[in-house]
Amino acid sequence: MIPDQDHDSRMVARKLLREARVGALATLVSGSGDPYCSLVNVATAADGAPLLLLSTLAIHTKNLLADPRVSLMLDERKPGNPLEGARVMLSGSIAPTSDAAAARAYLRRHPEAEMFAGFKDFAFYRVEFTRAHLVAGFGRIVDLAPEAVLTDIADAAELIAAEEGAIAHMNADHADALRLYATRLLGAADGDWRCVGIDPDGIELQHGRIALRLLFPQRVTGPGPLRAVLKQQADLARAQAG
């Protein structure tokens, strides 16, 4: 069977987006228009859109407030030659967001930011990209539309509303299942794996600054189907553990 290259590319791009915790943000210098690049911490909203926490004291924030056009480069951050790994460049615009869900999503992935997230000069920003340029290996270079990379949440209002409670429940009562997801289903090293995100297509696990994406075998849009698929995956992981 010949692999569906478009499908593979979408999956690779989505995985990069969900697992990235740091990226290179390119902005345009106010006045001159010169390119400026900086390192930023990254998280994702429920639909996969990148979220940043930025200070108005930073040059990149001064730049984007004058001209919201940006690009954001994310890569696998794996051992070896970085040019042999997958990376995706997202280009579009950025704007501040007052969405409380965005703040919670960011702080779950970067809990150390809680100490300064409330400072007056800091705000959360959401990247609305219009193009994704994926380099996924030799001969695997493709441009993707946003809808090919983002997660459709139009029919998942119940799941999104239940996400915070479900995450808290998994971390408090099912830490063993989370570790099994990471070690048995994703091949990761053992550790204090926690759930930091749930969306219709999968669950996001994190240990320190390492994040992993576990795809669901089928799309879920509500709490009931979520419980069923999480149990199914836990049973599968336990079976593999013997």
Q: What are 107-129's pLDDT values in tens digits?
A: 999 999 999 999 999 999 999 99
In this predicted structure, what is the pLDDT of residue 200?
97
In this predicted structure, what is the pLDDT of residue 7?
60
CA–CA gap between residue 209 and residue 18 (Å, rounded): 13
Spell out the CATH class of 5-149: mainly beta
At which residue do the structure tokens 């009562």 appear? 173
pLDDT exceeds 70 at position 6? no
Indicate the domain borders of the chain.
5-149, 157-241
pLDDT exceeds 70 at position 183? yes
pLDDT exceeds 70 at position 40? yes
pLDDT exceeds 60 at position 134? yes
Mean pLDDT score of the chain:
94
CATH number belonging to domain 157-241: 3.20.180.10
Q: What is the mean pLDDT of residues 158-186?
A: 97
CA–CA gap between residue 63 and residue 57 (Å, rounded): 11
Query: Tell me, what amino acid is at 192?
Result: D
| 77 confidence band (pLDDT: 50, 70, 90) | confident
Check if 5-149 and 157-241 are the same fold.
Answer: no
Q: List, as one string, the DSSP characters of 51-119.
A: EEEEETTSHHHHHHHH--EEEEEEE---SS-GGGS-EEEEEEEEEE---HHHHHHHHHH-GGGHHHHTS
The string of pLDDT tens digits covering residues 17-35 is 999 999 999 999 988 999 9
